[in-house]
Amino acid sequence: MSLDADLAALRKIPLFRGVDDQKLRLLAFMSERTLFDAGEDLMVEGDFGDVAYIILSGQADVLINTPTGRQKVASVKENDFVGEIAILINVPRTATVTASADLVALGISKEHFFKLVSNFPDMGVEVMRALAQRLERTTREVGRLRAQLPQNG
């Protein structure tokens, strides 16, 4: 695939919606296209990671470990961004992401991501805005799920 194809894919990612083409071209250049076979892990819960992935094609399951075994909590597909927590803060992966079909992704290393944000602070603001929106949606969903739990009296 070409740099132009990767640039076109990045333009579709909501996380990068407000980022101009020059910065996206640089991000595409600094990213690594990776192929995952169905059943292959992109990341494993508990591991430390230094790469986030933008899914270009295919899909994956987001799984968390529970006392009763692994549970699927979400699916991700084309244009989704996964693993960003590990490149923003130094914590273990919060979930395992396993390709449920053959998958093509752009890997963005922590080093390259921070280089871009340092050189283009407005890109960092856009990323923070998108992550804040994701956090707000997650918090709302947790509240909705809590409301469905039986109340202890």
Dihedral-angle region of residue 34 (phi above 0 means left; psi in -120 to 50 means alpha; beta otherwise): beta
Dihedral-angle region of residue 57 (phi above 0 means left; psi in -120 to 50 means alpha; beta otherwise): beta
Confidence (pTM): 0.79
User: Mind listing the pLDDT tens digit for each residue in 35-82?
Assistant: 999 999 999 999 998 999 989 999 999 998 888 888 888 899 998 888
- Judge contact between 93 and 45, C-beta under 8 A: yes
Structural domains in the chain, CATH included, are 3-145 (2.60.120.10)
Rounded Cα gap, residues 13 and 78, in angstroms: 9
Amino acid identity, position 24: L
Cβ burial of 51 (10 Å; 0-12, 13-18, 19+) is buried
